[in-house]
Amino acid sequence: MIITCPRCATRYLLEAGVVQPPGRQVRCARCTHTWFQDAAPDLPKPVLMEEPEVPAGPVTDKSRMLPAPPGSISQPIPRVQAPPTIEPPPSVRDDAQRATSRRWAAVLLLAALVIGGSWVFAFMRTYVATVFPPAARLYAALGVPVNTRGFDIKAQTVQEMANGVPVIAIKGEIINITDRELPVPKLNLRVLDSNKRELYRWTVVPDQPRLAGHQRQSFAARLESPPADTADIEIRLAKDTPDG
Domain termination site, one of 130, 148, 166: 148
Q: What is the pLDDT of residue 67?
A: 61
**Pair (12, 33) in one structural domain:** yes
Structural domain harbouring 143: 115-148
Is 242 within a domain? no
Q: What is the pLDDT of residue 231?
A: 92
Q: What is the pLDDT of residue 58?
A: 53
Q: What is the pLDDT of residue 92?
A: 67
The parts of the chain modelled with pLDDT lower than 50 are 48-49, 54, 56-57, 71-75, 77-78, 80-84, 241-244
**Pair (143, 183) in one structural domain:** no
d(CA 23, CA 40) in angstroms, rounded, equals: 9
Is 109 within a domain? no
Is 27 within a domain? yes
Q: What is the pLDDT of residue 211?
A: 93
Sheet strands (E) in 39-186: 65-66, 151-162, 165-176, 182-183
Q: Are strands 232-237 and 216-224 parallel, antiparallel or unpaired?
A: unpaired
d(CA 32, CA 125) in angstroms, rounded, equals: 84
Considering its fold, how many domains does the chain have in total? 3
pTM for the full model? 0.44
* 63 DSSP 8-state letter: G
**Pair (173, 222) in one structural domain:** yes
Chain CA centroid to CA 230, Å = 60
Q: What is the largest CA-CA distance in the chain?
A: 158
